């Protein structure tokens, strides 16, 4: 297996070979070793490879780089996760631009958790700090993994609060494992490796570079179910992450702020573009993502939590506590209300975001976990 890893790492270093090419090559040749031993004309026949990329594979000879990387990873207990491995972040593996290989040092199986990325400005306000702290405190014991970029500001706050609340957290690096950037976060990085870990696509010797940050951001967005933008201006890494998450068809949330606050402009811009939905509180977040248990949903639907609903709406709501999905005829029969009254109250409950309509005159509690 070590020899196959040797060839896999070499494949990541061949100019012009990205994840899509690697998948196609492996689909045909089965192993990375077979790829390097294949004849040029056989390589060039693979869709997207052609003579130029085939020649790059055949000419590649920097095996000393791969040898050094393998030795470094073995010495420092760094796992090498290849795109086709079971332990590779599964959500990320479905992205067309996913890295061929990742280097991971940590103590959790990434794929055993619900994954949430939290990003924001390096120069956060007290408001952003408080929102981050409250959000993460509310996520304790929810089997959630917090992902961010180990940067100053919101990123570091998210990691620290996760550790404080005994929530696993992963930092995505924009460089290799021989350094930590920013250096002020070395202690934080060590703590994270005891309660989560660090992950990067860059070999150990690769240093920080401005072009690495967008690459880092695509991993943050791609490996997560959802991304929450706490605070940001209209330009910056957080906006790149949010745009990438949107393009990957991930859920994006943005914390609303004052229109006069520069650190809220990016969030408001995302909301205006309808690339994100407002983050109001953790209950809303968990409900939107379907991460509430049936018991939690039932508890949150208790009548006392909806003081502004009418008596008819409360009567209908009680039915949904026992039957998360109901036909309109059942609602009319069980409540003994007139059809017109039921219709108007169902519309109000839908507007309030408590239920939603399905085809065939069916109505359902607006939380996917109720039907699981």
**103 near 193, Cβ under 8 Å?**
no
Residue 199 banded pLDDT, cuts 50, 70, 90: very high
pLDDT in tens, 6-61: 899 999 999 999 888 888 898 899 999 999 999 999 999 998 899 999 999 999 99
pTM above 0.85, yes or no: no
pLDDT at 321: 73
Structure letter (DSSP) for residue 215 = H
Helix (H, G, I), strand (E, B) or coil at 38: coil
**269 near 289, Cβ under 8 Å?**
no
How far is CA 101 from each of CA 14, 78, 208, 295, rounded to the nearest angstrom?
13, 12, 18, 40
Structural domains in the chain plus CATH codes: 2-75 (1.10.150.20), 104-289 (3.40.50.450), 294-371 (1.10.10.10)
């Amino acid at each position: 297996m070590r020899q196959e890893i040797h060839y896999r790492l070499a494949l990541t270093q061949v100019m012009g070979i990205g994840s899509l090419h690697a998948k196609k090559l492996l689909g045909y040749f089965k192993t990375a070793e077979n790829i390097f031993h294949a004849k040029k004309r056989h390589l060039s026949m693979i869709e997207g490879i052609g003579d130029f990329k085939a020649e790059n594979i055949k000419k590649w000879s920097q095996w000393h780089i791969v040898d050094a990387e393998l030795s470094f990873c073995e010495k420092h207990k760094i796992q090498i996760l290849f795109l086709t491995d079971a332990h590779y972040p599964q959500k990320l593996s479905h992205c067309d631009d996913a890295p061929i290989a990742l280097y991971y040092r940590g103590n959790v199986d990434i794929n055993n958790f619900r994954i949430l990325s939290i990003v924001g400005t390096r120069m956060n306000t007290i408001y952003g700090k408080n929102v981050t702290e409250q959000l993460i405190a509310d996520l304790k014991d929810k089997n959630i993994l917090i992902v961010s970029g180990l940067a100053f500001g919101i990123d570091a706050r998210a990691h620290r609060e996760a550790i404080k609340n005994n929530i696993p957290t992963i930092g995505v690096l924009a460089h290799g494992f021989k350094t930590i950037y920013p250096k002020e976060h070395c202690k934080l990085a060590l703590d994270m490796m005891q309660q989560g870990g660090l992950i990067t696509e860059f070999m150990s010797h690769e240093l920080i570079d401005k072009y690495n940050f967008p690459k880092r951001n695509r991993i943050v967005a791609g490996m997560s179910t959802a991304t929450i933008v706490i605070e940001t201006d209209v330009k910056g890494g957080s906006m790149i992450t949010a745009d990438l998450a949107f393009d990957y068809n991930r859920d994006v949330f943005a914390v609303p702020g004052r229109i006069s606050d520069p650190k809220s402009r990016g969030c408001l811009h995302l909301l205006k573009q309808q690339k994100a939905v407002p983050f109001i509180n953790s209950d809303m977040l968990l409900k939107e993502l379907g991460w509430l248990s049936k018991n939690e949903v039932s508890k949150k639907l208790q009548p006392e939590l909806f003081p502004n609903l009418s008596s008819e709406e409360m009567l209908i709501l009680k039915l949904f506590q026992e039957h998360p999905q109901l036909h309109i005829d059942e609602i009319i029969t069980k409540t003994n209300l007139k059809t017109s009254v039921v219709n108007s109250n169902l519309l109000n409950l839908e507007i309030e975001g408590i239920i939603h309509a399905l085809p065939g005159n069916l109505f359902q509690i607006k939380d996917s976990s109720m039907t699981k």
